[in-house]
Structure 1
């Protein structure tokens, strides 16, 4: 079997120097029917390796479960990498950041009272051991030492930016080795002296993360990695987008020039991202560095390969660079073809209030629980109580992250963590008060990792505390049959404005297997399902103006469902020729 090792200056594959030219491609962000296409386009770019994180919470959404099927079939993904003649780097965390919900850590684990987060706390390590049992059983037989593609496995992720617990890192190394991983182990940290010092151990190969000033950053890394090959484990060739912020782009020529400098030193590289993909469903994360900012559904990242798998100007600029260091195939991926364009009228509508009983099981409580207390780990939680004519307002200690306030089913206000809005006025009338709280994405970086969602603390009105509630999490991962039946039974309405919160439904015919781009011009905020699959969130706040619809989800006859939380100026949506990721400047 091939031998892979870390030499005095180079990575060595069967004794020969190997400069790793890798690209990040997260299998859990790409439809599995598109994996082979994206991997092939990495080879055509000039890459010889594919890197992927492993998102623990995607595989284990509930305690006691571990899903390796369909879009979570890591083994099949790595086999496709090998079939294309490429190597692989696997980064299983347990923490991954990745602008992914909770940084990949399961919310059910973080919700355990008193448990440690990214430390050598025994219960946390016990849970990590169970996770490693599952994921490393997939990785171990696919190591290069056993005829597979995997060259490197990473321990934790940018740990120097978070903690300083060498016992924790040693425990992870021991668990990884005990489960049959014999290829070299790496760590990665930002090219910062303090972070590089804290984030690794002697005996692990240190790598750095950066997106500019490559020569300077490699010098910093060399101070902490005196021998062996230098590697940028994340060459940030773009950036992620947050709701309410501009769409981030970087200059292709500048990024290519920096990449050329990096490779010219003999260092290895992993493009972050080669292909970003999509935060389908409720999988996006969030950052909170003083202001809570959730990540958009699109994870295009301004990467060389766009969200829909088409090459960009950056792809071509990088390809010219890689051609200086390796023989490239003559073939280049085809440019984007116009997607089907059509308007769809969502004429069947049902108020959210009418179908709530089928979406949530309310439980009476005598205090204000968090979503985590209720065992609800993503999406929406409904808090219900009654108010009198004298109450006049509702105010909460903290909302995570956004709440629609309804009085007898009628919207009367919004609470927002990002905007600091914690109070809403109420009509001077007795009625049922609903707070529909949206978890907009769990924090994926920094000290707020692991915090609970929902309402936190207490709630009161102008005259009294509110303690008697009914609470439950909404089932929205898919469009279940009772909801679908209610929509189909609704009488068609005119396409004029939609009053939310409401579910809207339509059917349409199109080209099966073809990528689509859904534009909801004039709509406010909500969710979209196509043929039962939750595509993700849309929001007029931007920057993203279209939702990417992977071709494998599209049939000849299709069913579209939209949950509009606020209201839309029209009942029409459009499928358009290409993506619109929004404005790039304020």
Structure 2
């Protein structure tokens, strides 16, 4: 029977020392038809292992639901890793961070009164046990001991960075997780924490192998890790070779030669490594997370991460440099991927979106209103992501609207006329109202649930109290907007799509501005199966679907200037739908030859 063990000095594969040279590749950020290509590129760079997180909420959008097909076919992904001759490391959480919505924790979980967050609370532990019972058998049959690729599995994630529980409480929680994992798995288990005394001291558990995450000063960080892991192999489980992007900030890049030098230090010291990321991919749909360390920052749709393999699968200068470093310590294949994928620029064309349907006209197809005698959150209504439309009546004497907090952004209008914006990132929770009676509407967007820190698990929508200058507002009608037919909101609602197809041309012309919140529809012909890059010059903020699949969010705030359209989504004749929240200078989209990830700090 094959074995993988943690020895006194080395990882031992079938009793022989193994230096793990791994790369992070998240199946949930890559189209399934591209998994094999990305895995092959990892092998050609010299990697011997693929690491992936498993997001609980990606598989379980509603309580009692667990989906493992299509984009969620973890078993198929691991089988493709094995078919390429590579090993795998799996990190199933329950919490993963990963700049992913809620850090992978399902929003529905926290709607239960009294449920804990990352602690040994009975309801939380019971939910994790059910999750593990669903996901870990997929991993178990693919353990190396069963002839599969999976070498090891992580317990929790960067737990030393979370909360202020006592050492006893932390131990109780991690011990409970280990016991549940061990009901299914026999491969080695480990923890990962950031390379600081505080995090390494607070995040581990005796008997679990400790690993660290860092992106520079490798020798210093390995020395620190050794103080907390006196025996056994050292491993940097997240070697940060780039960084993620947040809306409104710059596109992050990491110097190639600095990455290469640090990787050489790591491997030269005999340590194992997991490149985070090898290939970043895309936060498709509404899956991006957010950070809030005093300022709320939603994560961008692109998760390119300045990784060795670009969002569209092209090897970079970083790929070549890190491959050369790896070749000093391990054999690399003779063949290498082509210098760019696709080998020629992506198709270039403009698409006029000639059909326009204001949100108000589409509203009857998107959901039924719910009345409430208080200001309900989206979570109270079972709306775990996306949008909700809040309505109430105001009078000429009200003067101002104030809410406790908008989570995360609300477009405010009175009888259809724009009034202002409530914006969590800007701490804007009040707006002046016109001096007239009317119906006040707030279109609220969940821009991504916090994935790191104390605000994990908080509800979305409008958080009370809601007041005007003269009174409390306690009579509300709220419509959760169901834009998709599936539980994940990934596919465009077919009734909405049909409405858009049959609507008469609703724009004045391809050069005319189109104000207000509305859906736009158009078709285009192009090369089937080819990757495309979709540009939004003149548009403001919203969502886009290609052939019914939600690509994600766009925003003029940047940094991202294009959205990646994976080739498997593209046909000879295609349909594109845009939900624009504010208005566009012209209802025209541009497909361009290359991606534009935005300006950098330099």
* Superposition TM-score, scaled by structure 1 size: 0.99
1:79 Cα offset (Å): 0.3
Q: Distance in 2 between matches of 1:512 and 1:407?
A: 45
Structure 2 residue 67 is the aligned partner of structure 1 residue 54: no
Between the aligned partners of 2:428 and 2:267, the Cα distance in structure 1 is 49
SS at match of 1:174: helix
Which residue pairs with 1:397 in the alignment? Answer: 404
Q: Does 1:4 align with 2:8?
A: no
1:548 maps to 2:564: yes
Of 223, 228, 236, 1:219 maps to 223
Match of 1:522 among 518, 531, 538: 538
Q: Deviations over 1:11-47 (max 9, x none)?
A: 0111111000000001011100000000000000100
1:403-427 superposed Cα distances (whole Å, 9 cap, x missing partner): 0112122222110000111122222
CA distance in 1, matches of 2:351, 2:468: 43
2:223, 2:494 → 1: CA distance?
59
2:124 corresponding residue in structure 1: 124
- Runs of 4 or more consecutive aligned structure 1 residues displaced over 4 Å after TM superposition: none
Describe the SS at the equivalent of 2:381. Answer: coil
Equivalent position of 2:578 in the other structure: 562
Cα deviation for residue 162 of structure 1 reads 0.7
> How far apart in 1 are the matches of 2:498 and 2:147?
51
Offset from partner CA, 1:242-264 (integer Å, 9 cap, x none): 00110000001111110000000
Q: Which residue of 1 aligns with 2:35?
A: 35
Q: Which residue of 2 aligns with 1:346?
A: 353
Query: In the aligned structure 2, how far is the partner of 1:359 from the partner of 1:426?
Result: 27
Q: 313, 319, 333: which one pairs with 2:317? A: 313
Distance in 2 (CA, whole Å) between partners of 1:186 and 1:488 is 52
Between the aligned partners of 1:327 and 1:22, the Cα distance in structure 2 is 14
SS in 2 for 1:50: strand
Following superposition, the deviation at residue 484 of structure 1 comes to 1.9
Which residue of 425, 432, 439 maps to 2:439? 432
Equivalent pairs counted in the alignment come to: 585
1:517-573 Cα shifts (integer Å, max 9, x gaps): 000001100000111111100000000000001111111110000011001111111
Offset at residue 381 of structure 1 (A): 1.1
Moved more, 390-399 or 79-88: 390-399
d(CA) in 2 for partners of 1:475, 1:287: 25
Structure 2 equivalent of residue 488 of structure 1: 501
Measure the CA separation in 2 of the matches of 1:339 and 1:58. Answer: 30
| Equivalent in 165, 168, 177 of residue 182 of structure 2 | 177
Separation (CA, whole Å) in 2 of partners of 1:166 and 1:19 = 30
Q: Which segments of 5 or more consecutive residues in structure 2 lack a partner in the other structure?
A: 484-488
- Work out the CA distance in 2 between the residues paired with 1:542 and 1:187: 35
In 1, Cα distance between the equivalents of 2:502 and 2:76? 41
Distance in 1 (alpha carbons) for counterparts of 2:254 and 2:494: 45
The answer to which of 382-391 and 253-262 deviates more is 382-391
Q: d(CA) in 1 for partners of 2:354 and 2:475?
A: 38
Shift of 1:329: 1.2
Shift of 1:395: 1.6
- Gaps (5+ residues) in structure 1? none
Aligned mate of 1:442, from 442, 449, 452 = 449
Match for residue 486 of structure 2?
none
* Residue 303 of structure 1: aligned partner: 307
Give the distance between the partners of 2:581 and 2:211, measured in 1 at CA.
44
Per the alignment, residue 17 of structure 1 pairs with: 17
Aligned mates of 2:269, 2:205 — CA distance in 1: 25
Q: Match for residue 45 of structure 1?
A: 45
Query: Is residue 508 of structure 1 aligned with residue 521 of structure 2?
Result: no
2:172 corresponding residue in structure 1: 167
Query: CA RMSD of the aligned region, Å?
Result: 1.0
